[in-house]
Structure 1
Amino acid sequence: MKLRIFLLIGLAITAASCGSKKVVTTTPRTKTVVVKDNPIPLNKTKLPVLTPEKRTAKTTINNTQDYVNKFAPIAIREMHKYKIPASITLAQGILESGSGRSPLAIRSNNHFGIKCHKGWKGKSVTHDDDEIAECFRKYKYPETSYEDHSQFLTSRKRYAGLFRLKTTDYKNWAYGLKKAGYATDRKYPVKLISLIRKYNLHQYDYVTPKQLELGAYGKVPTETRSESTAQKNYHTVVKGDTLYSIARKYNTSVASIKKANGLRSNTISIGQQLKVN
């Protein structure tokens, strides 16, 4: 009888000791779970996405004057930041983008026809230019195109001589760009100067940073109704244009355009203004 009692007591002690071991084992496991349930994932910590300093308002561009009024502040800002005449930047934008209405400008906000070149890591589009399906840079905003245009000129040694000129010397800037190889068109400087004079762009070369900040500079007045109507009777040739494509756009014929402009052949050049009706 005594033997049975001793055996039962021994079994009870053994069971109790086993139960205590289970409690000890559970405790650290619970702590481990708590730690794993509350981590701070470092890969979710993101830096804020940088956007352009100032985005231009979404306004309709019906003609070249609209383009000037919209982008003049951007060109002036770039002038004070990079020492490139605002008049030159605007004239190049007008010429290269067809006043913001070329397919390249509409599709990719590329207002200066800048190609991808080696080392470009941004987005791109293909566009027929000197060759078929060439690679051109694509921007999210038009002003990013303006910024990249400034950096393009300042980062290449062949344009270094231009920055010894005054920002009010738009004539030598125009000829200097051609000499440095910016464009292959022999008449490129003449076209830039012509646009600067026609739209009084050189006035922006004299705007101070304070005037820009306050908006207290001589803005070019909006065209009158008669001037706007007259502007629509002309088409500014952009990259990719042909007499046939222009005729289709304005619902006229190639023969009519040639006759109205005194053309003897189908050859046209970028920046040329054609009377279409």
Structure 2
Amino acid sequence: MIFSRTAILLGGIVLFASAPAAAQSRLTREEYVERYKSIAVAHMERYGIPASITMAQGLLESNAGNSWLSRQSNNHFGIKCKRDWTGDRVYHDDDAKGECFRSYPTVEDSYDDHARFLDSQPRYDSLFAYSSTDYRSWARGLKAAGYATAPDYAERLVRIIEENRLYLLDRENGERLYAESRGIAVPLPDAPCAAPRVPEAAAECPIDPDAFGVTINGHCGYTVGMTNGVHHITARAGDTFESIGRNFRISASNLRRFNDLRGTAQPAAGDRIYIERKKRHWEGGTLLHTAREGETVRILAQRYGIRSRSIEKLNRLDRRTALTEGAQVKIR
């Protein structure tokens, strides 16, 4: 078993918590969701993982933040160390005695690691074919991929989602819908900044990337376009990932990741820069792309709004290799 046992077992573990941990007040499910739902929604936008699934797993695996493991190590998803883990760790009896679990500085770090783990592990690749509103398929897929050994794991997740109406978080304006379902008045957000007509040297204009929709076509001097359902801008002369990131409140490292780049790479004027994670699959009708001279896997990935790794897997290619002119490359 890769992960900790779920809520039924974790609830009992609380009895053996240390005195300081036991002295902490217990969170209710409602309090837990209220505290962490914004992180889950942000990860849904970045990775495509339903916010309802993230919240249900957090509730189940951490017993709503009350389990010994979550209080001792901020580990809310029961993720074990594995070979590639270089961070802090704690030891806890699970399937075997003294198993190694990841320990995080904050709960937010645990949520971030959970999203990256699902996104990076090949065993979960099939899940991303499902819509971020299809929580039932995600729940079944997690169980089938081996996230937990409990035979009714998928049913538990679905029950938590439906009992707590977490599926509302998966919808557009989900946090508002969820709050309204609980009778909480939510103030209207400030209107996003209008497309400014300013010179390129104008001051940076921060904007929440989740605040605009497909009908908004400009922010802070950038035209926001969409390919394959993914938002992007065109880099201007002098732009860096750091400056773009400040304008759209996205870290430079995430921008590089969204655009299949690493290290200290910077954009060139005219480059298409995705400001959210590209999709794993091309949703258009075209099945094949006829390669042109000098094209690479990454060039195609940027053109179609899909991840380089998806094209590599479909065609067994290396993204650094130039494609042969006229070659038929699968994109779906």
When normalised by structure 1's length, the TM-score is 0.55
Gaps of 5+ in 1: 1-58, 224-277
Q: CA deviation at 1:158?
A: 0.8
Q: How does 1:229-248 map to 2 (within 5 A)?
A: none
Q: Structure 1's 165 and 138: CA in aligned 2 closer, same or farther, altered over 3 A?
A: same
Q: CA deviation at 1:119?
A: 1.2
Provide the C-alpha distance between the structure 2 equivalents of 1:188 and 1:199, rounded to a whole number of angstroms: 17
Amino acid at match of 1:113: G
Residues 166 and 178 in structure 2, CA contact (< 8 A), matched pair in contact too:
no
1:163 aligns to 2:123 (yes or no): no
State which of 164, 182, 186 in structure 2 corresponds to 1:221: 182
Provide the C-alpha distance between the structure 1 equivalents of 2:62 and 2:108, rounded to a whole number of angstroms: 13
Provide the C-alpha distance between the structure 1 equivalents of 2:87 and 2:183, rounded to a whole number of angstroms: 36
Provide the C-alpha distance between the structure 2 equivalents of 1:120 and 1:87, rounded to a whole number of angstroms: 27
Corresponding residue for residue 141 of structure 2 = 176
Amino acid at match of 2:178: G
Corresponding residue for residue 207 of structure 1 = 172
Q: CA deviation at 1:218?
A: 3.2
Partner SS for 1:136? strand
State which of 115, 131, 150 in structure 2 corresponds to 1:150: 115
Partner SS for 1:99? coil
Provide the C-alpha distance between the structure 2 equivalents of 1:181 and 1:87, rounded to a whole number of angstroms: 19
Q: How many residues matched?
A: 160
Deviations 1:12-39 (A, max 9, x none): xxxxxxxxxxxxxxxxxxxxxxxxxxxx
Q: Structure 1's 69 and 173: CA in aligned 2 closer, same or farther, altered over 3 A?
A: same
Provide the C-alpha distance between the structure 2 equivalents of 1:92 and 1:75, rounded to a whole number of angstroms: 11
Amino acid at match of 2:74: N
Q: How does 1:1-277 map to 2 (within 5 A)?
A: 61-208=26-173, 216-219=176-179, 221=182
Provide the C-alpha distance between the structure 1 equivalents of 2:45 and 2:90, rounded to a whole number of angstroms: 30
Partner SS for 1:159? helix
Residues 100 and 106 in structure 1, CA contact (< 8 A), matched pair in contact too:
yes
Deviations 1:48-82 (A, max 9, x none): xxxxxxxxxxx965311111111111110111111
Residues 27 and 65 in structure 2, CA contact (< 8 A), matched pair in contact too:
no
Amino acid at match of 1:221: R
Deviations 1:127-175 (A, max 9, x none): 1100101000000110110010001101111100100100000000000
Deviations 1:160-215 (A, max 9, x none): 0100100000000000001111111110000000000000000000134xx76xxx
Provide the C-alpha distance between the structure 1 equivalents of 2:114 and 2:91, rounded to a whole number of angstroms: 19
Deviations 1:231-260 (A, max 9, x none): xxxxxxxxxxxxxxxxxxxxxxxxxxxxxx
Amino acid at match of 2:94: D
Q: CA deviation at 1:222?
A: 8.1
Residues 165 and 178 in structure 2, CA contact (< 8 A), matched pair in contact too:
no
Residues 109 and 138 in structure 1, CA contact (< 8 A), matched pair in contact too:
yes
Partner SS for 1:135? strand
- Work out which structure has the larger RCO, using CA pairs closer than 8 Å and 6 or more positions apart in sequence: 1
When normalised by structure 2's length, the TM-score is 0.46
Amino acid at match of 1:142: V
Q: Please, what is the CA RMSD of the aligned residues?
A: 2.0
Corresponding residue for residue 234 of structure 1 = none
Corresponding residue for residue 249 of structure 2 = none
Provide the C-alpha distance between the structure 2 equivalents of 1:101 and 1:68, rounded to a whole number of angstroms: 13
Amino acid at match of 1:159: Y
Corresponding residue for residue 258 of structure 1 = none
Partner SS for 1:218? helix
Q: CA deviation at 1:116?
A: 0.2
Partner SS for 1:125? strand
Amino acid at match of 1:178: K
Provide the C-alpha distance between the structure 2 equivalents of 1:62 and 1:97, rounded to a whole number of angstroms: 11
